[in-house]
Amino acid sequence: MENKTPKILLVDDDKELCHLLTEYLTGEGYRADSANSGEEALAALKADSSFAALVLDIMMPGMSGLDVLRQLRPQSDIPIIMLTGRGDDIDRILGLEMGADDYLGKPCNPRELAARIRAVLRRSQPQAQNTPGAGLSLHGIELNPGTFSVTVNQQPLKLTSAEFNTLQLLMQQAGQTLSKQELTEKVLHRKLEAYDRSIDVHISRLRQKLSSANIEDTIKSIRGIGYQMIIEERQ
């Protein structure tokens, strides 16, 4: 029988920290394995496709977390939480721009890490469609929450879970301005923190992907407030 318990891969060169977090996450109902280098992490992910999420330290000797992310993201949409040094804003933004789902500063609180893992797993699961027409359609974008899929002009568009949920929320409330606080709470399932640019980066990546599919100028920035998906069709 298939084991439904989510399996997490912890990647950090600090073996003691990996051991501590593995014990804590096991107590929280997860299965957890660890890798102590970027190379080891990529090998583990290649050998085992059952990992539900990846917790990835940015600063590691040899292959860094960003190097792992750069190699992994084009071929996998596994949810990724970065562990970053306090105040390493540039690395955080780079990681998000490269496709990480969220970040947590080190030293991290195990309880907060477990909460972040629950959040990324929750938003990476397809949502049940209980009513006909539950899919969303606007500007040539077709979004299906039940299959966790998006097409643009009938061509599939690959999004991370954070990008998918951001797009879904904007489409559901098209014509309305959503604050960064609301987007952070509903997409990332946490409070907006001071100097937190996570939503801005997810919006930027979403715009880039839509633009590459010839869908432009549909997500409007409302200065000092948040974002809005326009209703009127592009000319």
Q: Tell me the per-residue pLDDT of 24-50, one tens digit each, with 9 for 90 and over.
A: 999 999 999 999 999 999 999 999 999
Residues 216 and 177: their CA atoms lie apart, in Å, by 18
Reported confidence tier of residue 9, pLDDT bands at 50, 70, 90: very high
N- to C-terminal Cα separation, the chain = 54
Average pLDDT over residues 156-177: 93
Helices (H), 15-64: 15-27, 38-47
Helices (H), 132-217: 161-172, 180-183, 198-212
CA dist 161 → 21, 28, 168 (Å): 24, 23, 10
Q: Where are the beta strands (DSSP E) in the chain?
A: 7-11, 31-35, 51-57, 80-85, 102-106, 136-138, 141-144, 149-152, 155-156, 178-179, 219-222, 226-229
Contact indicator for 174, 137 with CB cutoff of 8 Å: no
**Comparing 36 with 2, which gets the higher pLDDT?**
36
Contact indicator for 31, 6 with CB cutoff of 8 Å: yes
Edge-to-edge order in the sheet of strand 219-222: 178-179, 226-229, 219-222
Predicted pLDDT at 86: 64
Q: Which domains does the chain have, with CATH numbers?
A: 7-123 (3.40.50.2300), 136-229 (1.10.10.10)
Closest CA to 60 of 34, 24, 79, 78: 34
CA dist 87 → 40, 195, 198 (Å): 27, 10, 14
Q: Please give the structure tokens belonging to residue 157.
A: 């568009």
Statement: residue 129 has pLDDT above 60: no
Residues 201 and 52: their CA atoms lie apart, in Å, by 23
Q: What is the pTM of this model?
A: 0.82
